[in-house]
A and B are shown apart, each in its own frame.
Chain A
Amino acid sequence: MSLSDAEQLNEAVKPPSKLFKNLTAKIAAIPMILTALVIFIGCTIWTIYHSFTKSRLLPSPDKWIGLDNYERLWSENRWIVSIENLAIYGICSLILSLVIGFCLAALLDRKIRFENTIRTIILYPFALSFVVTGLVWQWILNPELGLQNVVRNLGFENFTFDPINNADIVIFGILIAGIWQGSGFVMVLLLAGMRGIDEDIWKASRVEGIPTWKTYIFIVIPMMRPVFVTALVIISAGIIKVYDLVVAQTSGGPGIASEVPAKYVIDKMFQSQNLGLGFAASTMMLLSVLVVLIPWAYLEFGGKKNG
């Protein structure tokens, strides 16, 4: 081939347009892109906009009332109680389900007998819906039928354990049910993470005489960071949207003692027929999630470029 031939060849073959590269993959991604744009971003913006209007049963985009809905929201006792409840439930549930889940996973990781059976039993609550969990724990915690009655029948006449009926501690009754259901899942996630850790790490720490608990805390847990992040995201999402558990277990009672934000939003939107107020509440929920999420995302993904 002469030089001119080569030049001709170069001219004839141009790189294909970047737009049509991986066309099939791009077409396949279109529905999800649309979903993300329309449902997630579009509807969020629509909701935020309508939270500034006086929408009652139907959205009324033209009745602009500014921050009135937000002022009303924050002056309402029920909303404040909901936020407090969510804070207590959220912090306790996050810490406890991680701690309990990790301890269970660590116990199962010690090569015990009947591991599969035990794992299944502990994971089983996760297969139940929150409604069933709520009902079951409503019965267990019912003073006349449940735990309190059983212990009293054993002879401890003054034993009192009635979180469902006591407005001060009702949220902990819900917390117990939530952890009972959720920690099995955390355990399975963390157990999978532990199994991914090289056997030789354990051998090395044994040869060096590092106690098991120290190996877990200083070596294994830091190595399991990605799994912990996954678990954290899943637990947090579950905490923010907790609704059905409360409805089934206490219906927000006694009084308004176990109200949560998600329940507040649903009640305002569909029972009180006050869309504007409901939207304002859900916007506040979104805001609180973003306040947590943005710094974390910045640390997690922004830092990697530098380091």
Chain B
Amino acid sequence: MTNTNPSVEIKQLDLSFGKVEVLKNLNLEIARGEFLVLLGSSGCGKSTLLNCIAGLLDVTGGQIFINDKNVTWAEPSDRGIGMVFQSYALYPQMTVEGNMSFGLKNAGMAKDEIKRRVDKAAGILQLEPLLARKPSALSGGQRQRVAIGRALVRDVDVFLFDEPLSNLDAKLRTDLRVEIKRLHQQLQNTMIYVTHDQVEAMTLADRIAIMKDGIIQQLDDPNTIYAKPRNKYVADFIGSPAMNFFKGEIKDGSFSSPEVSMDLKGYETVDGNLPNTNAWLGIRPEHIQSGANTKGCSFVGDATIEIVDPMGSDTLVWASLAGQSIRVRTEGQSSLKVGETLKIGFNADKLSIFDTDTELRV
């Protein structure tokens, strides 16, 4: 990581299928040893971008560099990458060992070197007891570990993951997610990881690139993305349940809408001044205080409780504030009841405010 050259560099990448432009003038630099997550809803171009990096799709324009080598037109196998797929893509008639060694054998590598690498990868991923089994005799999580092992034995600098956990059930997904994170800490390789699951993105990533319509909306570390989304799309996409939005107007440092009127003193703007404009005011459900905690808040109001979702660790309340539905996250063991009035309030420092025309953060 002392090397300042980027591990993967993408310059002005374009990709179109006929008239459909999937990626538009995309630039991306990924540092050595970085864990980058490409996050977006389906059809946003994140898997397409990964396939371009892997060389499985021919780009329409632009260039791709891996380890300072221009690989825009290189074969996937010559790029120094390993890839893991959502459907595992294991060779079903070969054993685990066969799956991991087939590519190396094919490359004409010496037998003892193959064995050394397979044993090492099997050790890292705890696959030793499974080496003689066939994929059909493995569980989903084990299969995906084998697929990771197959990428590992290639001894490459860049790993690409294409939604590797999407086919697993919730419990296994969490287990394997931790394992991938541990793997990254151990190997310190560059990893590019595509997912639509924001929990995976938030927990794994050094930086997240949120994509929409083939354009990177924001590229930042998870905390920044969560706390200071650059535009309304990112704010809406990240966080579950989603951010609450109120449409209103900023005038002389205060916001007013039919539901919320408040002084914006304490809000950190992007460029230091607060314009007078129509704006979206966004507040995350967990930043809304309720009950006695509302004391001293810049905005305090009364909402009617519509639905209560006890989640164990916290409780989600769906309430109506002056006719608009809002989501509030409160403490776990609450005794709130439907129909009651809930006192809510929030401060300006936790807000996200977006211009209604540009949808950019102000």
Contacts and interface: CB of A to CB of B under 8 A. Distances in A.
A200 B107 CA distance: 20
A122 to B, nearest CB: 27
Given A203-B89, A204-B89, A209 B107 contact: yes
A204 B85 contact: yes
Contacts of B91: 201, 218-219, 223
B102 A209 contact: no
A204 B55 CA distance: 12
Given A207-B54, A207-B82, A208-B77, A200 B106 contact: no
A255 to B, nearest CB: 49
A206 interface: yes
Interface residues of A, number: 17
B106 A214 contact: yes
Contacts of B89: 198, 200-201, 203-204
B86 interface: yes
Contacts of B154: 208
Interface in B84-128: 85-89, 91-93, 102-103, 106-107
Contacts of A204: 83, 85, 89, 150
A203 B56 contact: yes
Contact of A207 (B81, B92, B102, B106): B81
A275 B207 CA distance: 84
Between B55, B56, B86, B88, the greatest number of chain A beta carbons within 10 A of the residue's beta carbon is seen for B56
A58 interface: no
B114 to A, nearest CB: 13
Contact of B92 (A203, A206, A209, A223): A223
Given A198-B89, A208-B77, A219-B91, A203 B103 contact: no
Contacts of B75: 206, 209
B89 to A, nearest CB: 4
A134 to B, nearest CB: 40
Given A200-B85, A200-B87, A223-B92, A206 B77 contact: yes
A210 interface: yes
Nearest to A222: B93
B92 A208 contact: no
A200 B50 CA distance: 13
Nearest to A198: B87
A200 B150 CA distance: 14
The CB with the most chain B CB atoms within 10 A, among A207, A208, A218, is that of A207
B106 A209 contact: yes
Contacts of A201: 89, 91
A211 B154 CA distance: 16
B301 interface: no
B62 interface: no
B77 to A, nearest CB: 3
Contacts of B81: 207
Contacts of B88: 200
B239 interface: no
Interface string B32-61: 000000000000000000010011100000
B78 interface: yes
A222 B92 CA distance: 9
A223 B91 CA distance: 8
Interface of B: 51, 54-56, 75-78, 81-83, 85-89, 91-93, 102-103, 106-107, 150, 154, 162
10 contacts: A198-B87, A200-B85, A200-B88, A201-B91, A203-B83, A203-B85, A204-B150, A208-B77, A209-B107, A210-B102
Shortest 5 CB-CB contacts between residues of A and residues of B: A209-B77, A208-B103, A200-B89, A200-B85, A222-B93
Given A200-B88, A209-B103, A209-B107, 13 more contacts: A198-B87, A200-B85, A200-B89, A201-B89, A203-B89, A207-B54, A207-B77, A208-B103, A208-B106, A209-B106, A210-B103, A214-B106, A222-B93
